[in-house]
Every structure is written in C-alpha cells, then in structure tokens.
Amino acid sequence: MYNRYPLWKNLLVVFILALGLTYAAPNLYHPDPAIQISGESGATAMSQTVLDQAVGALEAAGIGVKAAEFNAGAVLVRLKQREQQLLAKDVIEKAMGVDFIVALNLAPTTPAWLANLGAKPMKLGLDLAGGVHFLLEVDTRAMVAKKAESAAADLRRGLREANLPNRQWSVRLEGSQVVVRFPDAATREQAIKVIREQAPDMMREESERDGQFLVTLALSETAVRELENYAVDQNVVALRNRVNELGVAEPLVQKQGRNRIVVELPGVQDAAQAKRIIGKTANLEFRLVANPETPAMQRERFSFRNNPAQVYELEESVIVTGDQVTGATSAFDPETNMPQVNISLDSKGGEKMNRVTRDNIGRPMGVLFIEVKSELQKQRKPDGSEELVRVRKTEKSLINVATIQSALGVQFRITGLDSQAEASELALLLRAGALVAPVDFIEERTIGPSLGADNISRGFHSTLWGFAAIALFMIVYYHLFGFISVFALGANLVLLIALLAMLQATLTLPGIAAIALTLGMAIDANVLINERIREELRNGASGHAAIMAGYERAFGTIVDSNVTTFIAGFMLLVFGTGPVRGFAVVHCLGIITSIISSVMISRALVNAIYGKRANLRSLAIGQIWKPGTTSAARA
Amino acid sequence: MEFFRIKQDIPFMRHARIFNIISLVVFLLSVYFLIARGLHLSVEFTGGTLVEVRYQQPANLEQVRAAMAKAGFGETLVQNFGSPQDVLIRVPLSADGDSRKQGEVVMQALASDAPGAALQRVEFVGPQVGNELVEKGLMALLLVVVGIIIYLSLRFEWRFSVAAILANLHDVVIILGFFAFFQWEFSLSVLAAVLAVLGYSVNESVVVFDRVRETFRARRDLTTEQVLDHAITSTISRTIITHGSTQIMVLSMFIFGGEVLHNFSLALTIGICFGIYSSVLVAAPLAQIFGVSREHFIKPPPSMEFAEGELIHPEPDPADFR
C-alpha cells in the first residue's frame, strides 16, 4: 500500500487550503476611495446631521457617493470614483467648517461574512497607497545639554542660598559637564552637601587645578541612556498627538532603533504642511522682566519676534514652560479683535504661576517663543575633506510682554500674535505637547496616489505573467506532475497572501517582488521532486516506488536549499530598513509556505490521484528518455 | 519532453582549469571596475533629493534642466524615468539653505519654467542615513556568509561549505562589477537582490554536493573527479530547469515591473546566470582543490541509500573518462 496519506493528513491539507483561501479572499475586493470625517476634539459628536450635510455637499458638487456610514466614532463616506477623492475632500472641508478633521481614506469592501471571521485585506505600504513618509532623528545631545544647563542653574541657586562663608565660587558649563570651582578645600567640603542635594543623579569627581578646588559633575552613561529613551518616547507621544490633529486616516508613528522615529501618513499629499506641524519644536517660557534689583548675572536679553529692535531684559529663571500646558485654544480678543491663545496649565504649573504672580503684581512678565531650527553646513574634517554637518540653532524671541494685573491661576491668555493662523498653530502645538528634544528630518518620501496605483498594477502583472509562463512550461514538460506542481505553486501564493493578511504585514512594491521571486524559487522544490521521480523511473523503479523515492530523497535537498535562502532572508530582515525589510518579510514567510505547499500539498494531490491504484506501471510525468535507446520510450 | 539526454557523465572536471581561469579573469575585471569606476549609488546611500514628476506630453528635458539651473541648483541630474512623460530629477545635498525644502523649491521652479508637471514622488535622504546603510549592508553580507558556512559545515563538510561560499561570493562581486561597469544605479532593492541571490545560488552547490555525498557512498569504484562529474551531470537538468523557471519570473518583473524593479531584476538575472555557472563549475573544482575525498563521507554506516544506490546505477564504461 504505497503512497497514501492517512485521513488526518488529508484533512489537514484541506483545512490549510480552506484557511488560506478564506484569509486571502478579502484581497480580491478593491477598497473604496473614501473620505473620513471626525471631530477636532473627542467631544464633537458625529451625528446623522453631519453625515447628511457631508453627503448633501458632495451631491451638490456632482460627486458620486456610494455609501456613507459611521465607523469608530467617525463618518466614512465612500465615493464612486478615485479621481474625485481630492476634490471631495475640498468640498467637505468647505461645507463642514473648521470643527471637523477631513481625511482621505481607503475603505475596505470585505464582505460581512469574511469580516466576521477576522479576515482583512493586506495593509498596503506607502509606495502602493500613496502618502508621506518621514524618518526623524531625535537630537538627544540637545536634551543632555539642556539637562546639564538646568543642573548648573539649580546648583547656582542652591549654593547662593547656602550662604557659604567664602563667596568666591563659580559654576560653569563645559560641554555636557558642570564644573564648580572653589577657592579652598574647606569651602568645597561645605558645599558638597548642597551639590549632592541639587544634583543627586550626576557623577561627582573632585580635583585640584591651578590652586582651585573643583567638583566636576557629569551624567552617568545610564542616566544619559534613560534621558534618551525618555526623550524619544515623549516625542513619539507628542508626534502621535500632532498627527491626530492633522487628521490622517491610519497614521503610523513608531520608534525605530535608538533615537529615530518613523512617521507614515497614508493619503496625505501636502508634505510641506505635515512637516511644519510635525517637526516644529516650539515651546513657550514665561519669565519676569528684570527689574533694577536683578543681578547682572541673572539677566538675559531678548528681542521681539516681529520687531527685533525692541529689546527686553528678562530674569534667568523660568516660571512655567509649555510642557505644563494642558489645554490651548485659539480665539480673538473681544476688545481689540486681535488673535490670542487661551491657555490652561496643570495644577503644578498653575500653583507656581500663582505664587510668582501674586508676589509680583505690577511687574511686567514676558512670553518667550522658542523655536529650534537646523541647517546643513560644510565643515572641514581633520583630513582636509569636507563633510556636511547639521547645525542646530535655538531661537528665543519675545512674543508678548504684559504687566501682571492680578495673581494668575491655571487659566490665562497670551496675546501679541501676528495672525489667526499663527495663533491656531501655536495652540495646536501647545495642545499636542512640545517635543522634549528637537528632531531632524533625515528621510522624507512623498508618493503620489497615481504612482501607488501604477506600482500595484506593475507588481500584479509581473507576478501574473511570470506565474502563467512557469505554469505553461511545467505542464508541457511534466504533464500531470507539472499540473500538480502548478497547483502546489498556486496554493503557495494563496497561503503566502493569507499569511501576510493575517499578520497584517505591510505590503510594499519590493514585497510584491519578493512574492514573485519566492514563487520563481519555490518551483525548484517541485522540479527536484519531478526530476528525481523521472530518474527513478529511468532506472526501472515501479511507479509507486518512484514517487516514494522521489519525494523522500528530494526532501533533504529541499530543506537544505531553503535553509540557506532563509539565512539570507533573515539577515535582510534583521539589518534591513524600509524597502529591504519589506522584501525580507515576504521572502522569509514565502520560504515557509513553499516548503508546506511543494512537499505536503503536492504529495497529497499525487496520493489522491495515484494512491488507490495498485500496480502502477506508468506515471504521467512526461516523456522519459533512457540511455541506450535510440528513440524515446514512453514511460 | 526531455531536454537533457545525456548518455554518460560529462567530464566537467577535466576542464576545471579553464573554468577557473575564466572565473578569475571575470572576477578580477569586476574588482577592477569596482575600484576604477565605483558604484553609481542611489540617493538612499548618498543622501540628496529625488523628485519624480509626470507630464501629460513627452517631457522636454532641456527645459527642465534650464528650469533647474535657473533655480540655482548646481549638479542636478535630469533624466527620463521609464517613459518619455516621466522625469526624474536628482539634487545632491547642499550646504546652503535648507535641503529639506528642496522638493518644494524644485516644484516651484518647474511650475514657473517647465509647467505641466504633476508630482509623483519626492524622496529626501539626509547625510546620516547613507553611511549607516553601507555599514548595515556589509554587516548583513558578512553574517549571511558566516551563517551559510556554519550551516553547510554542519550538514556537509567544511571543504564544501567554503567552496560553495567562495563560488557565490564570486557571483556577488561579479554582479557588483556589472553595476560598476555599466554604471547602473545601485539602490537598496539591488542590495536586497544581491543578498537574495547569495542565499539562492548556494542552493545549487547544495544540490550538487548532496549528490556528491550520495555518489561517494554508493559508488566505490569512482575517483573523486568521476564522482564530481557524475554528480554534476545527474543534476544538470534540474539546475537548468529550476533556474530557467526563476528566470522566467525575473524576466516578467523586468518587463512588467517598471523602472523601480528594473535594476532589481537585472541584478537577479546576472546573479542567476552566474549562479548556475559558479555553483557548478566553480564550487566543485574548488572542493576538489580543497581535497574532498571518499573518506570524508564514509563515517556513517552504510544506509538504505547505499544499498539502493548500488542497484540503481549501471556500471560506467571506464573508457568514457579518459
């Protein structure tokens, strides 16, 4: 009894195929171009009125609406034609006003019964769907420098308050280190306690130089690492908030490596606007304007943003920063009709604001606007070659100076802004949270929607025609066994797509190339098997023995060759980013599915066809030529 | 239908020296071109800005170039991309101004001096990314090589694994040599293709070596050279059919895949062609040079395979091998 699978194995094959077909099926349904409407804040309710208003506006503009529905707290309007999607967005934006966020989307059309099984179409990468991709690098050095700066300020204050007998000490920043100098060892001894209190997380080192007694403070490696992690994680949170404010259907904001963040905005075409909102490191500082009593060491000069000639001196210490802002909305001052931003602070910030303003009624307070800008500059390396280096500039300028009329609390407003647009952008940035460390755009990609559609059809046609040509050749060359191989190859394709859809891996153009290549390579296993069977037949084995030996002997080779391919694929997965990773994911998954399909599924089919026949004299595997015979013999 | 009707083993090994010389010459030429011309690296590696636009009519490249020059871009590269309507503009990183805004500046320049362009794609890559990519690419290459050597050493013999990997590294260098000679653009997807080829062509050597091992065990009457010849001959039809099938797929990508997959499929094509050649005609002689012999394979006791193999193969005519 050769070549039969036990019932459980046959059932397993049927089950795998059914599972594959089910989860691959949603990809057959083209998604609808859609417009997604959501409220600017969570409070804006999406009612039937909103839906009717949007649909009405589209119909009035002559844009075909296929359907409209509520979907996860948003309204989703499906359109008939993809070309009208951008136009439809404009129409709805005009009709709905500023309270709503209108975004482009692609709505899946998976039938309900498939959706109920959890089957979803594959996620398309930006190169297929169109959109904007950014890779940001978080400048953690700036973060470390800022930390050292604030430690230095704390130390100065602490030492001043400690009233040391000898006042000849100094605190200075040297790179990311803080150096405290004392005139004698006794003073240093007295100060150590203060230093330990003010900078508990810094590493201390005592030394003597030029007759002075020094304490050098630096952040430990772990502290720097923690600070970096904190900076990147906080930035991810702030970026998510900002992206949500932009109104993108399915954005991706993800940490990558040690200090990078990937931002992907499908459907977005205006990269410039997205960049302005995402990359801005805007923050605010509230400080008192210096009065005659303020020591010279604790004064800083700033000029007005819209009038550089107008200069004020502010105190060095900051009352609150934008980080303590919990809410910000733009509005108009009812008296002057000038734009303003209404701000609410968290309780800690409010308390501090209240304490400081209570004691300083009648003194002016300044609002500093802080922006970090970076540009590329040429720098000469020690070996004489030139290199492009990113240089960062922090610009601090005044936007408003006003006299404190009464003690302020958690709520107050800022005026002195140029325009309504500036007010709403500042409000948005404050609301979404400041970036704790500045970011650089180190990679940026914008892909138009039509290019994405082109890429899909290119990838699809490559795979289709390649598959068809291989299928034709296999059937002509190996007859029934060729057909079985093609069936296995088809099963491989279905399983691979099902697996990608189940894992919700992102499909890119290199990913499609990997599908095609995997199929082209997977046929190798079946060629190995078929050639082995022919060889066994050539050497006079019976049909059943040939099938048995063919599959069994080829198996070792198939595993070997797939393992080596897998090693290469895995390394691409580990070291690759972007397009390489998209390729590698599919390549690796494809190797797994091809072993299943070329060995198990094709064998099941062979067994189903030949298994029940005793005395198998010939196999439909094409003509077999035997050495020694002049004319080809039919096996 | 059967393409390969080989009456007796083909004496590949007799000509091993010729193959070795061919390989060496092509290899050295590739190294020479890699050094002399270098690779034409894509924006992903060098940093810079890439703008792809589409015109309704065939684009006037001179006009586009003039628009770029007028906008103050120095060394821009303007070329057609796939079709006469599509234009690719490549701007290197520059020190003056904010290079992140170059995409917008390019579009403004086109709008005023070469109107009608619709933006298809903008890609900006900063200077930090490129070096890292080269590092990671080389690291991946190294680990693939190490991984394959370890696996093949466990499965076979160190002589085989070293022979196989050398043969395929020679393919990699030759692919790079082609890219250097023709100055085709070397992008990330080409890198992926090169590494995929490395994993894939090693298969070929694996299949041959599998046969070598089997034949060593089954046929005690053959010399090492004859064993290698027999193994290559009996797997040659599979080799060609398999690679032919993969090549059909790659060709389909080359034809239908558009400009993005063009160089990817080109790298695969070269890799597949040289893969057949090297894994068979370079790896086997190398294994011979390293001194593989029957003793390396008779450690395990004779198995079923051994008994069957003895029955299957007809006695060869020793005259054939002279």
Query: Using a CB-CB distance cutoff of 8 angstroms, which residues of chain A are in contact with residue B155?
Result: 560
Helix (H, G, I), strand (E, B) or coil at A286: strand
Question: Do A171 and A191 touch, CB atoms closer than 8 A?
Answer: no
C-alpha A390/C-alpha A137 separation (Å) is: 11
Check residue B302 and report its DSSP letter.
P
C-alpha A462/C-alpha B268 separation (Å) is: 14
Check residue A633 and report its DSSP letter.
B
A591 contacts: CB under 8 Å, gap ≥ 6: A518, A562, A565, A566, A569
Q: What is the CA radius of gyration of chain B?
A: 26
Q: Is residue A229 domain-shared with residue A300, that is, in the same domain? A: no
The three-state (H, E, C) secondary structure of A474-508, written as one string: HHHHHHHHHHHHHHHHHHHHHHHHHHHHHHCCEEC
Q: Is residue B29 domain-shared with residue B160, that is, in the same domain? A: yes
pTM above 0.80, yes or no: no
A334 contacts: CB under 8 Å, gap ≥ 6: none
Q: Does A375 touch chain B (CB under 8 A)?
A: yes
Q: Is residue B137 domain-shared with residue B78, that is, in the same domain? A: no
Is residue B63 domain-resident? yes
Q: Cβ separation of A549 and B308 shorter than 8 Å?
A: yes
C-alpha A204/C-alpha A196 separation (Å) is: 9
Q: Cβ separation of B261 and A443 shorter than 8 Å?
A: no
Q: Is residue B120 domain-shared with residue B160, that is, in the same domain? A: no
Q: Is residue B190 domain-shared with residue B299, that is, in the same domain? A: yes
pLDDT at B248: 94
Q: Cβ separation of A463 and B252 shorter than 8 Å?
A: yes
Q: Is residue A407 domain-shared with residue A532, that is, in the same domain? A: no
Is residue B247 domain-resident? yes
Question: Do A294 and A315 touch, CB atoms closer than 8 A?
Answer: yes
Question: Do B188 and A580 touch, CB atoms closer than 8 A?
Answer: yes
Residue the block writes with tokens 């404010």: A245
Q: Does A451 touch chain B (CB under 8 A)?
A: yes
- Measure in Å the smallest separation between the Cα of B71 and chain A Cα atoms: 19
ipTM exceeding the 0.85 mark: no
Q: What is the CATH number of the domain that holds B227?
A: 1.20.1640.10
State CA A189 to chain mean position distance. Answer: 51
pLDDT at A628: 57
C-alpha B286/C-alpha B279 separation (Å) is: 10
Strand partners, A303: A311
Closest CA to B172 of A279, A516, B164, B7: B164
Question: Do B221 and B296 touch, CB atoms closer than 8 A?
Answer: no
State CA A13 to chain mean position distance. Answer: 38
Q: Is residue A175 domain-shared with residue A256, that is, in the same domain? A: yes
Q: Which of residues 44-73 of B touch A (CB under 8 A)?
A: 44, 47, 52, 54
C-alpha B168/C-alpha A276 separation (Å) is: 48
pLDDT at A634: 43
Q: Is residue A398 domain-shared with residue A352, that is, in the same domain? A: yes
Task: Give the neighbor-by-neighbor strand order of the sheet with A100-107.
Answer: A65-71, A74-79, A32-39, A100-107
Q: Is residue A275 domain-shared with residue A314, that is, in the same domain? A: no
pLDDT in tens, B111-129: 877 778 888 888 888 777 7
- From the list A447, A516, A536, which residue is nearest B252 (CB)? A516
Q: Is residue A178 domain-shared with residue A205, that is, in the same domain? A: yes
C-alpha A75/C-alpha A38 separation (Å) is: 6
- From the list A127, A455, A564, which residue is nearest B199 (CB)? A564
Strands, E assignment, A190-317? 202-209, 212-219, 252-256, 260-266, 283-288, 299-303, 311-315
Q: Does B216 touch chain A (CB under 8 A)?
A: no
In the listed set B125, B148, B181, which residue is the last one of a domain according to the structure? B125
C-alpha A394/C-alpha B20 separation (Å) is: 62
Cβ-based neighbour number of residue B240 at 10 Å? 16
Count of CB pairs separated by less than 8 Å, A with B: 257
In the listed set B78, B95, B125, which residue is the last one of a domain according to the structure? B125
Dihedral sign, Cα of residue B265, residue B268, residue B270, residue B272: negative
Q: Cβ separation of B245 and A527 shorter than 8 Å?
A: yes
Continuous H helices in B37-86: 43-46, 61-70
A380 token code pair: 């000469």
Closest CA to B195 of A588, A458, A489, A461: A588
In the listed set B125, B147, B164, which residue is the last one of a domain according to the structure? B125
Closest CA to B129 of B41, B226, B235, B223: B41
Q: Does A587 touch chain B (CB under 8 A)?
A: yes
A303 contacts: CB under 8 Å, gap ≥ 6: A309, A310, A311, A312, A397, A398
C-alpha A66/C-alpha A77 separation (Å) is: 8
Per-position DSSP letters for A140-179, written without gaps between them: HHHHHHHHHHHHHHHHHHHHHHHT-S----EEEEETTEEE
Q: Is residue B97 domain-shared with residue B114, that is, in the same domain? A: yes
Query: Using a CB-CB distance cutoff of 8 angstroms, which residues of chain A are in contact with residue B82?
Result: none
Q: Is residue B33 domain-shared with residue B67, that is, in the same domain? A: no
Closest CA to A409 of A349, A460, A469: A349
Q: Does B257 touch chain A (CB under 8 A)?
A: yes
At B50, which helix (H) or strand (E)? strand B48-54
Dihedral sign, Cα of residue A603, residue A604, residue A606, residue A607: positive
Residue the block writes with tokens 């011979």: B288
Residue A383 belongs to domain spanning: 281-419
Residues of chain B short of pLDDT 70, as ranges, are 1-5, 7, 94-101, 298-322
Q: What is the CATH number of the domain that holds A529?
A: 1.20.1640.10
pLDDT at B34: 94
Q: Cβ separation of A528 and B242 shorter than 8 Å?
A: yes
Q: Is residue B208 domain-shared with residue B117, that is, in the same domain? A: no
Is residue A365 domain-resident? yes
Q: Does A632 touch chain B (CB under 8 A)?
A: yes
C-alpha neighbours within 13 Å on the C-beta side of residue A9: 14
Q: Is residue A152 domain-shared with residue A272, that is, in the same domain? A: yes
A51 contacts: CB under 8 Å, gap ≥ 6: A68, A70, A75, A77
Q: Cβ separation of A390 and B126 shorter than 8 Å?
A: yes
- From the list B52, B100, B148, which residue is nearest A441 (CB)? B100
Residue B74 belongs to domain spanning: 48-125
Q: Does B264 touch chain A (CB under 8 A)?
A: yes
Q: Does A472 touch chain B (CB under 8 A)?
A: no
Is residue A438 domain-resident? no
Query: Using a CB-CB distance cutoff of 8 angstroms, which residues of chain B are in contact with residue A463?
Result: 252
Per-position DSSP letters for B73-107, written without gaps between them: -SS-EEEEESEEEEEEEEE---SSS-GGGHHHHHH
At B281, which helix (H) or strand (E)? helix B258-281
Residue in B closest to A561 by C-alpha: B203
C-alpha A540/C-alpha A546 separation (Å) is: 9
Number of domains in chain B: 2
Q: A142 to each of A138, A372, A391, A440, A534, how far by Cα in Å?
A: 9, 10, 11, 12, 69
Question: Do B265 and B251 touch, CB atoms closer than 8 A?
Answer: yes
- From the list A462, A467, A535, which residue is nearest B257 (CB)? A462
**φ, ψ for residue B166 (rounded to 5)?**
-65, -45
A604 contacts: CB under 8 Å, gap ≥ 6: A5, A9, A10, A13
Amino acid, single-letter form, for residue B245? S
Query: Using a CB-CB distance cutoff of 8 angstroms, which residues of chain B are in contact with residue A565?
Result: 196, 199-200, 202-203
Q: Does A470 touch chain B (CB under 8 A)?
A: yes
pLDDT at B299: 58
Number of domains in chain A: 4
Q: Is residue A259 domain-shared with residue A303, that is, in the same domain? A: no
- Measure in Å the smallest separation between the Cα of A116 and chain B Cα atoms: 35
C-alpha B275/C-alpha B268 separation (Å) is: 10
- Measure in Å the smallest separation between the Cα of B148 and chain A Cα atoms: 6
- Measure in Å the smallest separation between the Cα of B268 and chain A Cα atoms: 9
pLDDT at A559: 87
B111 token code pair: 């709008």
Q: What is the CATH number of the domain that holds A338?
A: 3.30.1360.200
Q: Does B10 touch chain A (CB under 8 A)?
A: no
The three-state (H, E, C) secondary structure of B202-220, written as one string: HHHHHHHHHHHHHHHHHCC
Q: Cβ separation of B2 and A510 shorter than 8 Å?
A: no
pLDDT at B33: 95
pLDDT at B169: 87
- Measure in Å the smallest separation between the Cα of A106 and chain B Cα atoms: 19
Q: Is residue A333 domain-shared with residue A348, that is, in the same domain? A: yes
Q: What is the CATH number of the domain that holds B73?
A: 3.30.70.3400
pLDDT in tens, A479-523: 999 999 999 999 999 999 999 999 988 888 889 999 999 999 899
Query: Using a CB-CB distance cutoff of 8 angstroms, which residues of chain A are in contact with residue B242?
Result: 523-524, 527-528
Q: Is residue A172 domain-shared with residue A141, that is, in the same domain? A: yes
- Measure in Å the smallest separation between the Cα of A578 and chain B Cα atoms: 9
Length of chain B: 322
Q: Cβ separation of A517 and B124 shorter than 8 Å?
A: no
Residues of chain A short of pLDDT 50, as ranges, are 1, 42-43, 630-635
Is residue A249 domain-resident? yes
Q: Is residue A371 domain-shared with residue A465, that is, in the same domain? A: no
C-alpha B242/C-alpha B249 separation (Å) is: 11
Q: Is residue A152 domain-shared with residue A266, that is, in the same domain? A: yes
Query: Using a CB-CB distance cutoff of 8 angstroms, which residues of chain B are in contact with residue A453?
Result: none
